[in-house]
Amino acid sequence: MTTSPTSGQLWEQPTFDNSGARPYVTGPVLLPVVTQLEVPPPGLEEQRLTTIRALIWPLALVVGIVTGSWATFLLLPLVVGIICRNRLRELRRQRYASAQLLR
């Protein structure tokens, strides 16, 4: 800040010229270590549950059309899908946890 005789204080833009100054960082610089997490592939149970979850709705729709009974075949895939989803979450959580421990 500089003082002007007519209006008091006047603000000036500081210069950002770094030609004569020392560098900000000196000496060795440590870079962050990038590690890859080796997650084991899905097991047999996880593959089966994924397949069941993918096929339950198409199968329920076909059976519902063939038999004409929609109430049972709309409720059943909801329940099976929820059970499969919860078990898949648990299996994935276990796989990721085991990968974290192996680091």
> Residues 27-56: pLDDT tens digits?
677 777 767 778 889 999 999 999 999 999
Low-confidence ranges of the chain (pLDDT < 50): none
Query: Could you give the number of structural domains in the chain?
Result: 1
Q: What is the pLDDT of residue 38?
A: 83
Q: Is the pTM of this model over 0.75?
A: no
Question: Domain residues for 69?
Answer: 41-103
In a domain, 66, yes or no: yes
In a domain, 5, yes or no: no
Q: Which value, to the nearest 10 degrees, does the dihedral of the CA atoms of residues 84, 85, 88, 92 take?
A: 180
In a domain, 93, yes or no: yes
**Quick one: CA dihedral 76, 79, 85, 88, positive or negative?**
negative
In a domain, 63, yes or no: yes
Please state, in angstroms and rounded to a whole number, the distance separating the CA atoms of residues 16 and 12: 12
DSSP 71: H
In a domain, 15, yes or no: no
Query: CB-side exposure of 28: number of CA atoms within 13 Å?
Result: 2
In a domain, 81, yes or no: yes
In a domain, 80, yes or no: yes
